[in-house]
A and B are shown apart, each in its own frame.
Chain A
């Protein structure tokens, strides 16, 4: 590597010569932890992203500044990526008809018309 005439005083202080040219290593990447962020007490913790770390302690220390350096944070959770389980993407069709199951929805139950018809029929005084 030729002498660098950097404008960056930080770069000038680095011992660049100590590092040899050539390919850099690709065998030292750490495992990932999935990070969940709870903004406020009482709210859900929401998946925020991942951090590379070697232990849960370190993942938490890393997650704090990766996902909690702005705004409010009440809690951060981490879990090893390999310990998250999910249904296969092609099984999403199991949920396809769920929105049609209206008997589970509040909007399915409408009795106002019936009450009004009854009131008319039986002369219950209207409010």
Chain B
């Protein structure tokens, strides 16, 4: 039970934080059509967060989704540090979206076989949404890879910067063995291998390279509640209105 809860919390927090971050692009992206696409994907992610918190609420008696998202302290968040970083420029946001959404795609794909039914059902339901997220990311990566010298250089440096953070998404939790033995989830290590096998050829085919990274450089911590300075300010901003009158119905 603790094992499944841990898995749900980190997935929900990941989805909320990246959805929140990417919603910032609504209205300031590089072209109008791309604003629409980024915004829709952000809404999908926030929807996934809601669904996952709702499983915690209904299956495990945790608080309702609004309370879990808007009234928990920073230390209780289990999201990866990668996702809390500010949106930066479009190059970083695109690469983060590419790297994270491939991980999400494979994670949900494997969870469609989970023995924990609510998660298996959710995984089947959102399959099409995540398929689009990945298609969107791949299309832009491919186009910008062969675009101009500037676009190539920008994306390569975004890949280099993001890589240790992206590997941090697969930080193992305290209950990996139990999740694997109960057939709830394949575990972070196996997921990371699938992910490397998936993204590496796409990155290379687009004309980029995968940076060499040592285990020490990988940015862990998020899964244990250790975050960069960005999460606290993100949450303070996100809950600013709620906190005007914490008991009111908004």
State the CA gap A65–B33 with chains docked (Å): 8
Instruction: Please report the number of residue pairs spanning A and B whose Cβ atoms sit closer than 8 angstroms.
Output: 42
Taking the closest CB of chain B, its distance from the CB of A13, in whole angstroms, is 6
Residue ranges of B at the interface with A (Cβ–Cβ < 8 Å): 24, 28, 31-34, 36-37, 39-40, 86-87, 89, 132, 135-136, 139-140, 142-143, 237
Q: Check if B237 sits within 8 Å of A9, measured CB to CB.
A: yes
* A-side contacts of B36, CB under 8 Å: 62, 65-66, 69
* A-side contacts of B37, CB under 8 Å: 61-62, 64-65
State the CA gap A55–B37 with chains docked (Å): 16
Residue ranges of A at the interface with B (Cβ–Cβ < 8 Å): 9-10, 13-15, 30, 51-55, 57-58, 61-62, 64-66, 69
Beta-carbon nearest neighbor of B36 in chain A: A65
State the CA gap A53–B140 with chains docked (Å): 11
Beta-carbon nearest neighbor of A55 in chain B: B143
- Residue among A13, A15, A61 having the largest count of chain B Cβ atoms under 10 Å: A61
Q: Check if B132 sits within 8 Å of A64, measured CB to CB.
A: yes
Q: Check if B139 sits within 8 Å of A61, measured CB to CB.
A: yes
Beta-carbon nearest neighbor of B37 in chain A: A65
Beta-carbon nearest neighbor of A64 in chain B: B132
Q: List 27 A-B contacts (CB under 8 A).
A: A9-B237, A10-B24, A10-B28, A13-B86, A13-B87, A14-B28, A15-B89, A30-B31, A52-B32, A54-B143, A55-B143, A57-B142, A58-B140, A58-B143, A61-B132, A61-B135, A61-B136, A61-B139, A62-B33, A62-B34, A62-B37, A64-B37, A64-B132, A65-B33, A66-B33, A66-B36, A69-B40
